[in-house]
Homo-oligomer: A and B are copies of this chain.
Amino acid sequence: MKPWDNVISEGEQQAYRAAGFGKPSGVGQRPALLIIDVQYRTVGTRPMPFFEAIKEFPTSCGEVAWDALGHIQELLALFRQKGWPVLYPHVAPKVRNEGGRLAEKIPGIMNIAAIGYEFVEQIKPQDGDILLPKKHPSAFFATALASHLIDLQADTLVVTGCSTSGCVRSSVVDAFSLNFKVAVPHDAVYDRSSTSHAVNLFDMSEKYADVSSTKELISVLQPIGSKA
């Protein structure tokens, strides 16, 4: 059962299969983990239902974020054990005159309390990780992410965090365009809309990335040799 089976009809899935979409890319030999925007501003300072959570931060995703958080921790533990690189693209605090189109489309996003920008304790960076402040959806846009991945000789990106339909989706498309192999664990990404979450997973699975559960992905990654 795929996460989108209740949203994308069997006929539509058949249309993609008939057209030859959705083949697997597989993983390579040098994975890197992206943990995107897992800051209190998307998770809340504690698990709360969505409509309560957005009173704390309008960008909160509510309880689904905490479910995903557990799976991100599992992946992070594997990457720590293997000594593989972990990168944290994250939203940088907004400055008054930097809004552009973002401030027009989502004005509330310009006024988040400072604590909202802190990394969530459970997955926080450690010394040696790479921090990438960003102000746009894609983790590649206006950041040195590509330069870091080339320096690390990464060939495979595991993309986690939020939102599935926003920064995760656009980072995955750019990673695909740059020819990295991309794996998206569907239970380690989260979104404020369950329908949009499911459909974006479907889109990514058909066109840009291999989508599986965290458990399945860990079983695929586990046998790969650690970084020399």
Contacts and interface: CB of A to CB of B under 8 A. Distances in A.
Nearest to A62: B15
A29 to B, nearest CB: 9
Contacts of A107: 20, 23
Interface string A198-216: 0110110011100000000
A23 B104 CA distance: 6
Contacts of A137: 173, 176-177, 207-208
How many copies of the shown chain assemble into the complex? Answer: 4
Interface residues of A, number: 78
A50 interface: yes
Nearest to A128: B97
B180 A150 contact: yes
A225 interface: no
A64 to B, nearest CB: 11
A194 B7 CA distance: 11
Interface string A154-183: 010000000001100110011011111110
Contacts of A146: 146, 178
A91 B12 CA distance: 24
Contacts of A19: 54, 58-60, 108, 192
A136 interface: yes
Given A16-B192, A192-B16, A150 B170 contact: no
A206 to B, nearest CB: 8
A195 B199 CA distance: 8
Contact of A178 (B12, B147, B195): B147
Given A106-B20, A107-B20, A138-B177, A25 B101 contact: yes
5 contacts: A19-B108, A100-B148, A146-B178, A147-B178, A150-B178
Given A137-B176, A153-B155, 20 more contacts: A8-B195, A12-B192, A15-B54, A19-B59, A20-B107, A95-B131, A98-B130, A98-B144, A100-B147, A101-B176, A101-B182, A137-B173, A137-B177, A142-B142, A142-B144, A148-B179, A150-B179, A165-B199, A169-B203, A196-B202
